[in-house]
Amino acid sequence: MHFDHIVVGIGGMGSAALRALALRGQRVLGIEQFKIAHDQGSSHGHSRIIRLAYNEHPDYVPLLRRAFGLWAEIQDEYGERLFVQTGGLDVGPAAGRVVQGALAACKTHALDHECLEAGDIGRRFAGIRVPSDYAAVFHQEAGYLDPEACITAMAQSAVRHGATLKEGEEILSLSMHDQGCEVVTNRDRYTSDGLVFTAGAWSSRLLPRLKALAIPERQVVGWFDPAEPSAFGADRFPVFILDSHLGEYYGFPIDARGRGFKIGRYHHLEEQVDLSAPMLEPGGADEALLRQAISAYFPDANGPLQRMQTCMFTNSPDGHFIIDRDPGDQRLAFGAGFSGHGFKFACVVGELLSELACEPEKNPLPLFSLARFE
Ligand SMILES: Cc1cc2nc3c(=O)[nH]c(=O)nc-3n(C[C@H](O)[C@H](O)[C@H](O)COP(=O)(O)OP(=O)(O)OC[C@H]3O[C@@H](n4cnc5c(N)ncnc54)[C@H](O)[C@@H]3O)c2cc1C
């Protein structure tokens, strides 16, 4: 029952950390309260955008290069497709944050990209209509990952490389003692030399010091059957980030299993989640928020609703990740506050966490350090 490390929460980041630690030959235990690849947290819904021309900050680009390579390795090991390349469009007012941010990433890192003016966008992608002052940055490498399959692949790989995995077991408390770290669950008690904490939206329940740094927020995505489906297939319609007068939206083409045109709005209705109560089921107000962007920018997709689904963002104060050690106890490394854009990085976050856990001389990346909030 004593391990080198225990990984707390086996979702997107935890499954990656478990694998990375197992690959290092560590004796590692992962504990997950639900089943692996469940639909209660932040990592479900069949698709997550991955793109290189990163409008959020150019410093993410080297991590993304690593992520593309690692996902390909994990896909090879798993033997089933995890990534679908569609190309990606960052579109919005030419002078706006998304287009300018994507251009800055392309310039800083000499990324292949195409700049499209408003007229080019509609000619190239028949499903999209934008006003004349809009522009876009198109990048060929972008596409989407299947998050449930990625988590399954990483968890299985971890176990194959020697990790122990407990599913359906809720962690009730964590404590640090001179002789080691202690994890108490609803079934058992385990000890370890170090903890890697990746509890997502539930972070502040077990680590109250993360309360103001990792705030859960309700999201809703919807899948729609386009009135005119031919323009929305994955062979001709890219994943997109849309900066618009209605807010920032993101979306996906119809996938190979016939799941419709998928769209979500960043920060949706700006509703904080109360983790002690069941999350509000999707309803009319959610659909209306998604449909208003569809009718304005993707009118041919404005057909019947297939389904909606809730999910959670866990927001940090500045929208960047927190990947660091606890200043009070260096045996505790954590990854939190992935702020609605973390999944594509999960495999790299796993590596970063395993470095923080196993290499005492390693410092956190400044963009992700806790010290930035001091
Ligand atoms: C609608 C939506 C769309 C998104 N789109 C994108 C996108 O296109 N591209 C992208 O890169 N990112 C996207 N994201 C963000 C990305 O999905 C998240 O940043 C990422 O999945 C977070 O992973 P996580 O490991 O932190 O959380 P999770 O995957 O939720 O993992 C946390 C795990 O900890 C477990 N846990 C918590 N407490 C306990 C406990 N007490 N005991 C045991 N287990 C516990 C949970 O059950 C859970 O499995 C999106 C998010 C949402 C919600």
Q: What is the pLDDT, as a whole number, of residue 308? A: 98
Q: Give the separation between CA 265 and CA 85, rounded to whole angstroms.
A: 22
Question: Which parts of the chain have pLDDT scores under 70?
Answer: none
Pocket flag, ligand 1, residue 48 (CB < 6 Å): yes
Q: How many Å lie between the centroid of ligand 1 and the Cα of residue 11?
A: 6
Residue labelled with tokens 């949706």:
268
> Using one digit for the tens of pLDDT, what is the confidence trace for 33-55?
999 999 999 999 999 999 999 99
Q: In a mutational test of the pocket of ligand 1, which residue from 343, 344, 345, 353 has the highest number of ligand atoms less than 8 Å from its CB?
A: 343
pLDDT at position 137, please? Answer: 98
- Give 184-198 pLDDT, tens digit per residue: 999 999 999 999 999
pLDDT computed for residue 276 by the predictor: 92
91-119 burial code (b ≥16 CB/10 A, e <16):
bbbbebebbbbbbebbeebebebeebebe
Q: What is the pLDDT of residue 264?
A: 98
What pLDDT does 374 receive? 87
Q: Which residues pair with 221 in a beta bridge?
A: 264, 309
Confidence (pLDDT) at 359:
98
Ligand 1, atom 49: closest residue by C-alpha: 11
pLDDT of residue 255: 96
Query: Nearest C-alpha to atom 41 of ligand 1 is from which residue?
Result: 171
Alpha-carbon gap, residue 326 to 363, rounded angstroms: 12
What pLDDT shows up at residue 1?
A: 84
Closest CA to 346 of 169, 195, 198: 198
How far does the centroid of ligand 1 lie from the alpha carbon of residue 317, in Å? 17
pLDDT at position 149 is: 98
Verify whether ligand 1 is closer than 6 Å to residue 312 (CB atom): yes
* CB-ligand 1 contact for 30 (6 Å cutoff): no
**Ligand 1 proximity of 342 Cβ (cutoff 6 Å):** yes
How many Cα atoms within 13 Å fall on the side-chain side of residue 76? 5
What domains can be seen in the chain, in order of their start residue?
Answer: 2-44+148-214+318-373 (3.50.50.60), 73-142+217-312 (3.30.9.10)
